[in-house]
């Protein structure tokens, strides 16, 4: 029998050990695993010893980069880690967006024919979020 994580070795413990200052700018997180899980989301979070609410609560803000597949575009460049078809990528994008959408502070960066433009929009969103979080922390 295989398992994703045990009670004494969960993903949050690993990430906390790796990033004790808790400033993560880029993190796929435990939540992404639910989009790839063969069962329903409830069984995924049970298997990893957590809840969706707990995992979402680990993040101050979310920037969700919409897949190029949403615009009918494929990822160019021969990236060997991109093994999904456009249809599969679109389905994954929908599942991921559904999972993350319950976070109260989520901004979606839409797909864009220009990857550079998409990155620039994401950076502007990040800059705005950091400024807001900094003001709220004072």
The span from the CA of 121 to the CA of 123, in Å, is 5
| CB atoms inside a 10 Å sphere around CB 9 | 11
Across the range 65-71, mean pLDDT stands at 88
The tens digit of pLDDT for each residue in 13-37 reads 555 566 555 555 666 778 889 998 9
Across the range 49-60, mean pLDDT stands at 90
The span from the CA of 33 to the CA of 95, in Å, is 10
The tens digit of pLDDT for each residue in 81-90 reads 777 888 988 9
List of residues 6+ apart from 32 with CB closer than 8 A? 96, 99
Decide if pLDDT at 3 tops 80: no
What pTM was estimated for this model as a whole?
0.75
Q: Is 69 exposed, middle or buried (0-12, 13-18, 19+ CB in 10 A)?
A: buried
């Amino acid at each position: 029998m295989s398992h994703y994580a045990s009670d004494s070795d969960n993903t949050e413990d690993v990430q906390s050990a790796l990033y004790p200052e808790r400033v993560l700018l880029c993190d796929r997180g435990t939540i992404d695993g639910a989009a790839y899980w063969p069962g329903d989301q409830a069984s995924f979070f049970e298997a990893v010893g957590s809840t969706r609410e707990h995992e979402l609560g680990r993040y101050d803000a979310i920037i969700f980069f919409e897949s190029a597949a949403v615009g009918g575009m494929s990822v160019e460049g021969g990236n060997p880690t991109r093994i999904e078809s456009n249809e599969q990528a679109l389905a994954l994008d929908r599942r991921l967006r559904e999972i993350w959408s319950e976070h109260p502070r989520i901004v979606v960066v839409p797909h864009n024919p220009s990857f550079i433009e998409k990155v620039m929009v994401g950076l502007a969103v990040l800059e705005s979020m950091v400024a807001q979080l900094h003001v709220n922390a004072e």
